[in-house]
Amino acid sequence: MNDGTLPRLTPQSPRQVEDELDDALRSSFPASDPPALTNPASLLSRRKEIEVVHEQSVHPLIVTKRRWITWILGALLVAATFLSYRAYGSEIDNFSDRHVRLGDIESDLQALTRREWAAAIQAANAAGRVCSRDALYAALRQRFGGRNQTPAGRWLTRSRDIPYRQPDLKDSVYAGLNVGESRVLPLGKIALGRVVRVGAYDIGVDKLAHFWSAGYQYFAHAYLRPRQPDVSKALELGRWMEAGLFGYTVTGVYSYADLSANFAGMRFWNHVLSEHEDPLGEELGPYVACRDGHWVSLKAPVWSDYMDISWDEAVNCSAFHLSTMREKIERNLAAMSRKSGRKLGCPLTHEHDPELRRKYGPYFDELVNTRGFTDVVHLPSLRP
């Protein structure tokens, strides 16, 4: 009868070692505890213990392979972290200095949008293909596609001529986080994005990147790839993106405001040619039509048609990687409240709940969280 101690292994070939690890795993449980053999968590934990205790007896090829895989995955994650932050990149603190009203950039943003829109239509026609949808989408993405190198990206992230908020880490709601809670937020301002005012809303500039770039990915998954339009495919993609390198895995934050901006972007891309029904039943397009073998702009999109309060993280509350992360943020908000004399928490207000529920209908729970800060309980692990 086994007493639960870990068995010794003898050096063998890689295949033999793998087989013996499985045998050792099962024999390591006491006979009095057979249910443990059917518990996947117990099995995985026990196997890890065996591998660690007996690593010196495992064939060198196996050890080396595992170490290289671990190193490569770590290097890829670090690289992806910084690459993902090129897209106006960042998490947003929409609480710090909230009472300071920013100047409105809507008219300037709309003027820039009209200029770049006209240039994109011209570029699509210059591609030499008669009313090519691929050329049209490519030209629009080149001009607006969510990268810092685009005119909109440079203006929003680098210009000193626009009013914005961007607190230092030590003064933000993310102060005190460690790398176990967020891989990038402890790095400081590189991970905190600007907040600007567009019309009636204070939003992170990253939301405009989500609108253009992730919105197109949503559009492709919902309308271009399936035989029949299927918005659920886009929502699945959004959950995966926020669970991966564009959110939770890197920053520790699962942002519903990001998801709402993504969804709005999907609607915009669908309105470009208006070949499919709008998921909310509001037809704002088409913006472009084919006339005499050329794309013709019928009108440029208007930001206020798509933007709403759900793009604001102070109203549309995020979920967090760990409860310790959420608790630190809540403590920081409590400290800010005492210092400013203004009560801060998430959501700042529930007054917009009814209108958001009416607008988003069956998609509300996917895109909006006004229940307050939460911990991430379940997230998808595979890309759709």
- The reply to whether 48 falls in a domain is no
Closest CA to 250 of 318, 182, 297, 190: 182
For the chain, the average pLDDT equals 80
The reply to whether the predicted model has a pTM over 0.85 is no
Range 49-78 average pLDDT: 48
Q: Which residues pair with 198 in a beta bridge?
A: 201
DSSP string, 247-269: THHHHSEE-HHHHHHHHHHHHHH
Residues 6+ apart with CB under 8 A from 75: none
Range 280-302 average pLDDT: 96
Secondary structure in 3-state letters for 268-305: HHHHHHCCCCCCCCCCCCCCEEEECCEEEECCCCCHHH
- The reply to whether 277 falls in a domain is yes
Contact 159, 322 (CB under 8 A): no
- The reply to whether 76 falls in a domain is no
168-172, 178-182, 209-213: lowest mean pLDDT where?
178-182
- The reply to whether 43 falls in a domain is no
16-20, 112-116, 276-280, 378-382: lowest mean pLDDT where?
378-382
Instruction: Look at residue 40 in the predicted model and tell me its pLDDT.
Output: 41
Q: Which domain holds residue 146?
A: 96-375
- The reply to whether 13 falls in a domain is no
49-53, 185-189, 195-199, 340-344: lowest mean pLDDT where?
49-53
- The reply to whether 66 falls in a domain is no
Q: Which of 74-88, 116-130, 241-255 has the highest mean pLDDT?
A: 116-130
Number of domains in the chain: 1
- The reply to whether 203 falls in a domain is yes
For the chain, what percent of residues have pLDDT higher than 90? Answer: 55
129-138, 154-163, 183-192, 349-358: lowest mean pLDDT where?
183-192
19-28, 213-222, 285-294: lowest mean pLDDT where?
19-28
- The reply to whether 65 falls in a domain is no
CA gap 290, 130 in Å, rounded: 9
CA gap 255, 367 in Å, rounded: 9
**Phi/psi class of residue 341: alpha, beta or left (left: φ > 0; alpha: ψ in -120 to 50)?**
left
The C-alpha torsion from 331 through 335 and 341 to 344, rounded to 10°, is: -30
